[in-house]
Amino acid sequence: MAETRTTCPYCGVGCGIVARQEADGSVAVAGDPDHPANRGRLCSKGSALAETLALDDRLLHPLVNGRRVAWDTALDLVADRFRETVRRHGPDAVAFYVSGQLLTEDYYVANKLMKGFIGAANIDTNSRLCMASSVAGHRRAFGSDTVPGLYEDLELADLVVLTGSNLAWCHPVLFQRLMAAREARPEMKLVVIDPRRTMTARAADLHLALKPGSDVALFNGLLAYLAAAGAGDTAFIQHHTTGIQEAVVAAGADDTEATSIATGLPVVQLRRFYDLFCRTGKTVTVYSQGVNQSSAGTDKVNSIINCHLFTGRIGRPGMGPFSVTGQPNAMGGREVGGLANQLACHMEIENPEHRRIVQDFWQSPVMAQRPGLKAVDLFAAVRAGRIKALWIAGTNPVDSLPDADGVRAALSACPFVVVSDVARHTDTTACAHVLLPAAAWGEKDGTVTNSERRISRQRAFLPRPGDARPDWWIFAEVGRRMGWAQAFAYDGPAAIFAEYAALSGIGNDGRRDFDISRHAGMDAAAYDGLAPFQWPSPAGAASGGETRFFADGGFFTADRRARFVPTAYRPPAEAVTAEDYPLVLNTGRVRDQWHTMTRTAKTPRLMSHIGEPFIELHPDDAVACGIGPAGLAIVESRYGRAIVRALVTDAQRPGCVFVPMHWTDRYAARARIDAVVNPHADPVSGQPELKHTPVRVRPFGAAWYGFAVLTARPAEIGAGYWAIAPVAGGWRLELADTETPASWEAFIGELCGLPAESGHEVLAYHDAAASRHRFAVFRDGRLVAALFVSPDPVEAARGWLSEQIGQAFADPQERLRLLAGRAGAGRADRGAIICSCFSVGLNQIVAAVTQGGCLTVDEVGGLLQAGTNCGSCRSEIGKVIDGVRVQNAS
Ligand SMILES: Nc1nc2c(c(=O)[nH]1)N[C@H]1C(S)=C(S)[C@@H](COP(=O)(O)OP(=O)(O)OC[C@H]3O[C@@H](n4cnc5c(=O)[nH]c(N)nc54)[C@H](O)[C@@H]3O)O[C@H]1N2
Ligand SMILES: Nc1nc2c(c(=O)[nH]1)N[C@H]1C(S)=C(S)[C@@H](COP(=O)(O)OP(=O)(O)OC[C@H]3O[C@@H](n4cnc5c(=O)[nH]c(N)nc54)[C@H](O)[C@@H]3O)O[C@H]1N2
Ligand code: SF4
Ligand SMILES: [Mo]
């Protein structure tokens, strides 16, 4: 039994993990009790990591036009095509599009190859969709992309403001740390600013459900209020900042009524928030995609930072603006220069001295002289034919970029597309000429940086399957074959990290924030043993300290002062129109899925929480659009459309709808929501407005709805709507169409690929008058398929039915009960799964409250274990308890 300390490959909390390889080859993961980010905790996604390691669906060999080739053939082809394209069309005719899920070493090599050797800066990353506005806001205010604080500040604060962040679902372990701190100090206040009532908002003392996109008005209002109240930290403002006058003027008069109109928030709520902020010194403002993914994202960031600079609340325990990063290495990618407008080690491409430092260090023949294209523009250039060779690594842009059908069209128009991925079948790999098999989490070594600047090792604990290779190796091999053997002669990630660390210290002397030169020249053994540390960690420092930035100024501008940035509120790029597109589409994440689901959808446990793409809409809008509960809705914009299940809920503001970003063509007929999302971007950061697209919603017009469970995934699904999810013994499938099949027997035959040979028993029930049909198919007495068809959304115990796949049904009575779609006596229906760690369902929790007398989340945990492992579901259990008690009371 071998134990390996590594880091979670999902979110930017960066939890430490202990992976244990058991004697039988299986893997178990647990939280690393010694890692400072999580101290042993994990969330539902982290806890389920071992279930995502199966090799089915892995890309295991290089493929050229779908044909398996040797590495040499694939690498030579890529190097030749890139070299040839540069020779004929210049360096701007090629591009890399990479990812915050690459390790720092991978990123370093890709960036060096493009910016220092190909000599252009057309390398951008999916962090453009994620962090670019925070980067730009930080650079405008601080002169550098510095996150000043530490996670601990969330625990030390007296007021935590979470804005545009669904921390409970997206940074669950950090949220748990916050909840634990609040339990210990109940006087600590939590304010959540989000147009939706999320699971995070449910935990708040005050939830401000602001009008989407109105954050700048809200924080300008706060600055004006603070100024009017004389709450400024005069000494800090005087000694460490410039531009206060302009910012206060831009914020406008202290007029809460006007702010109320701009934000759609009641005056009393605004006053409560402003007053709380004004009188609470220890305040942290955490922000994420509701702030960044906006055409005013950079201004949103600066409007927040302005309030912290004004009160001097920065870089001190329990105080500061805090941008939480999404991907495991979003921060590392920023540090290493993964964005088209940055150089390695937080150096700037526009700065001639920085260019010279990097060029000398790399001894590079040609250095990029100006910023390259940012993601949205980069794909527009591909579509326009200006970029003729494109290499995508570790990201799935056909699903995750806005105007995603346009992205797909761009890739099919591009003469040469290379994709490095771990999955064989994604919507992006389908568009590639060359597929390169990357080593996955658990198979590769390197470092990542989390949201609090902590650099941790990811370590391999599994053999590399097939021909899979680490991303750094793939980039370096192409670099060598393009003619730069010396510059890309790395023998492992340790050598890359050592080089990177050395570069961070050159010409630095405290003039740049990012300095890890203490690790320059680190050898492989030291790298293997590297414990998590925070930067800065300059040469000569005793250790990586737990450092905060800026308490006493020392910003990275020329005069070492921070800049107040005047921010004027402007509405989102596209406005809703009453006649065509009356609703605002907001998009984001659900608790148990990760982005485009290439890994999290492999585990039935994570799919059991939410297994189908959905649209949340307010009851009034549902009525106006003619959509009933659990009906199917078409969501369409000027750009494209999607078909998803309707969830009618007053957690939405009227006029606003929400669809998760996760579903792809692999798991649903037509739910790629980014096909609907508009491609407008922030003018400073280039980050697209993924949270605001005018749309209309109308009924799908289903003639029938179906629900099926199957042992095998069908090759083809002949229905206009479908969504599929794995379950323990097979698959569950939602279906609907506008036309009714001629024969239901033929339909189910196709679904489960019934062979002509006998051996199957089909049990059928038809209520032709009511258009209801039910089928159960048995083989050797075991259930292999069931299908329920009805003119309305199917009512059946889905979780229970999914558990019956493969079960023996000898008793004819039991078989009939199965056809009823309901659990029989002795076969309990758990209901929709709430706790994915222990597979505890809604019905069980309701019973624990109504029959078991449980009144609190802990009591439910005591009875059912629910919520006692990772704790990600605790707020949902709380919501169920509240719901049951409200029902009982009324
Ligand atoms: N479960 C899970 N966790 C993840 C990920 C995942 O895929 N799944 N991905 C990771 C990544 S890469 C990222 S970037 C993070 C993202 O983490 P978050 O940013 O927390 O998540 P999102 O759901 O994208 O959006 C956050 C919230 O912004 C709100 N919002 C929308 N418009 C506005 C607005 O105008 N103003 C304000 N104030 N709020 C608004 C949305 O309603 C939403 O609840 O999550 C990380 N963690
Ligand atoms: N509508 C809408 N769109 C969004 C967002 C939103 O909130 N709303 N959020 C945006 C944000 S913040 C983000 S971060 C992006 C995320 O979007 P993507 O980056 O496109 O999403 P992922 O599914 O994480 O894609 C990662 C890909 O890399 C592969 N992979 C995994 N590990 C490795 C590895 O080690 N090496 C290589 N080469 N490949 C690997 C996976 O199989 C997968 O195909 O989506 C953005 N798009
Ligand atoms: S909070 Fe969850 S997803 Fe994020 S790093 Fe920790 S275990 Fe992984
Ligand atoms: Mo992200």
pLDDT one-digit tens code per residue, 810-868: 888 888 888 887 766 556 678 888 888 888 988 888 888 888 888 899 999 998 999 98
Crossing angle for the helix pair 352-362 and 493-505, to the nearest 10 degrees:
140
pLDDT one-digit tens code per residue, 21-55: 888 888 999 999 999 999 999 999 999 999 999 99
Across 478-484, average pLDDT: 98
Cα of 98 vs centre of ligand 4, distance in Å, is: 13
Q: Is 204 a residue whose pLDDT tops 90?
A: yes
27 contact partners, CB below 8 Å, separation of at least 6:
19, 20, 21, 50, 53, 442, 461, 462
Across 127-136, average pLDDT: 97
One domain, residues 612 and 473: no
Which residue's CA is minimally distant from atom 6 of ligand 1?
A: 594
Ligand 3 atom at minimal distance to the Cα of residue 328? 5
Confidence band, pLDDT 50/70/90 cuts, at residue 147: very high
pLDDT one-digit tens code per residue, 258-270: 999 999 999 999 9
Question: Ligand 1 pocket check: which of 175, 194, 298, 583 to mutate, most ligand atoms within 8 Å of Cβ?
Answer: 194
| Domain assignment present for 559 | no
Across 308-313, average pLDDT: 98
Does 290 contact ligand 2 (Cβ within 6 A)?
A: no
Give pLDDT, residue 823.
66
Does 395 contact ligand 2 (Cβ within 6 A)?
A: yes
**Ligand that comes closest to the CA of residue 304:** 1
pTM here is 0.96
One domain, residues 778 and 712: yes
Q: Which CB contacts under 8 angstroms, 24+ apart, belong to 715-723?
A: 715/753, 716/750, 717/669, 717/751, 718/747, 718/750, 719/669, 720/643, 720/669, 721/632, 721/643, 721/669, 721/670, 722/668, 722/669, 723/611, 723/612, 723/613, 723/645, 723/663, 723/667, 723/668, 723/669, 723/671
Residue with token string 């308890």: 881
How many whole angstroms separate alpha carbon 192 and alpha carbon 878?
Answer: 18
Measured CA angle at 573 (ends 163, 99), to 5 deg: 60
One domain, residues 800 and 728: yes
The domain of 367 spans: 63-127+329-534
Cα of 264 vs centre of ligand 1, distance in Å, is: 21
Decide which of 661, 681, 699 is a domain's last residue.
Answer: 699
Q: Which helix (H) or strand (E) holds 397?
A: helix 397-400
Average pLDDT, the chain: 94
Structure tokens at 244: 């206060």
Structure tokens at 791: 């003119």
195 contact partners, CB below 8 Å, separation of at least 6:
209, 210, 211, 212, 290, 586, 652, 653, 656
One domain, residues 850 and 709: no
Residue with token string 């095998």: 712
pLDDT one-digit tens code per residue, 442-458: 999 999 999 999 999 99
Confidence band, pLDDT 50/70/90 cuts, at residue 524: very high
| Domain assignment present for 548 | no
Give pLDDT, residue 727.
93
Question: Ligand 3 pocket check: which of 171, 325, 329, 449 to mutate, most ligand atoms within 8 Å of Cβ?
Answer: 171
One domain, residues 512 and 372: yes
| Domain assignment present for 735 | yes
One domain, residues 166 and 303: yes
Residues with CB under 5 Å of ion ligand 4 are 130, 326
| Domain assignment present for 315 | yes
Give pLDDT, residue 825.
55
Residue type, 850: T
Give pLDDT, residue 268.
98
Confidence band, pLDDT 50/70/90 cuts, at residue 760: confident
Confidence band, pLDDT 50/70/90 cuts, at residue 2: confident
Cα of 11 vs centre of ligand 3, distance in Å, is: 5
| Domain assignment present for 394 | yes
Distance from CA of residue 174 to its chain's centroid?
A: 15
pLDDT one-digit tens code per residue, 338-373: 999 999 999 999 999 999 999 999 999 999 999 999
Does 396 contact ligand 2 (Cβ within 6 A)?
A: yes
Give pLDDT, residue 154.
98
Q: Which of 44, 110, 84, 50 is nearest to 488 (CA)?
A: 110
Give pLDDT, residue 829.
76
How many whole angstroms separate alpha carbon 8 and alpha carbon 173?
Answer: 12
CA distances to 106, 419, 805 from 439, in Å: 11, 13, 34
448 contact partners, CB below 8 Å, separation of at least 6:
7, 14, 103, 104, 328, 329, 331, 332, 455, 456, 458
Give pLDDT, residue 545.
65
Cα of 341 vs centre of ligand 4, distance in Å, is: 18
Confidence band, pLDDT 50/70/90 cuts, at residue 717: very high
Question: Ligand 3 pocket check: which of 6, 7, 8 to mutate, most ligand atoms within 8 Å of Cβ?
Answer: 8
Across 415-441, average pLDDT: 98
Q: Which residues sit with their C-beta closer than 6 Å to ligand 3?
A: 8, 10-11, 13-15, 38, 42-43, 45-46, 171-173
Q: Is 423 a residue whose pLDDT tops 60?
A: yes
Q: Which helix (H) or strand (E) holds 848?
A: helix 842-850
Cα of 465 vs centre of ligand 1, distance in Å, is: 34
Q: Which residues pair with 764 in a beta bridge?
A: 775
Cα of 816 vs centre of ligand 2, distance in Å, is: 45
How many whole angstroms separate alpha carbon 404 and alpha carbon 639?
Answer: 9
Alpha-carbon torsion 10, 11, 14, 20, what sign?
Answer: negative
Range of weakest confidence among 172-181, 392-401, 548-557, 855-864: 855-864
How many whole angstroms separate alpha carbon 281 and alpha carbon 284?
Answer: 9
Give pLDDT, residue 887.
66
One domain, residues 606 and 489: no
The CATH number of residue 650's host domain is 2.40.40.20
How many whole angstroms separate alpha carbon 796 and alpha carbon 707?
Answer: 8
Give pLDDT, residue 826.
56
User: Could you give the dihedral angle defined by the CA atoms of residues 76, 82, 84 and 85, in that order, rounded to the nearest 10 degrees?
Assistant: 160
The CATH number of residue 11's host domain is 3.30.200.210
Structure tokens at 16: 């430490």
| Domain assignment present for 453 | yes
Confidence band, pLDDT 50/70/90 cuts, at residue 640: very high
pLDDT one-digit tens code per residue, 54-65: 999 999 999 999
One domain, residues 306 and 400: no
For the chain, what is the domain count? 6
Rg (Cα) of the chain, in Å, rounded? 27
Which residue's CA is minimally distant from atom 25 of ligand 2?
A: 395
How many whole angstroms separate alpha carbon 505 and alpha carbon 507?
Answer: 6
Does 226 contact ligand 2 (Cβ within 6 A)?
A: no
Question: Ligand 1 pocket check: which of 288, 300, 615 to mutate, most ligand atoms within 8 Å of Cβ?
Answer: 288
Give pLDDT, residue 391.
98
Cα of 791 vs centre of ligand 4, distance in Å, is: 40
Cα of 6 vs centre of ligand 4, distance in Å, is: 21
How many whole angstroms separate alpha carbon 734 and alpha carbon 722?
Answer: 5
Cα of 638 vs centre of ligand 2, distance in Å, is: 24
* The 3-state secondary structure of 177-197, one letter per residue: HHHHHHHHCCCCEEEEECCCC
Q: Is 472 helix (H, G, I), strand (E, B) or coil?
A: helix
Check if the beta carbon of residue 13 is closer than 8 Å to that of residue 450: yes
How many whole angstroms separate alpha carbon 809 and alpha carbon 820?
Answer: 14
| Domain assignment present for 242 | yes
Confidence band, pLDDT 50/70/90 cuts, at residue 883: confident
Which residue's CA is minimally distant from atom 6 of ligand 3?
A: 15
Residue type, 462: L
Give pLDDT, residue 846.
87
Structure tokens at 347: 């150096």
Q: Is 780 a residue whose pLDDT tops 80?
A: yes
Question: Ligand 3 pocket check: which of 15, 17, 178 to mutate, most ligand atoms within 8 Å of Cβ?
Answer: 15
Does 664 contact ligand 2 (Cβ within 6 A)?
A: no
The CATH number of residue 355's host domain is 3.40.50.740
One domain, residues 479 and 364: yes
| Domain assignment present for 827 | no
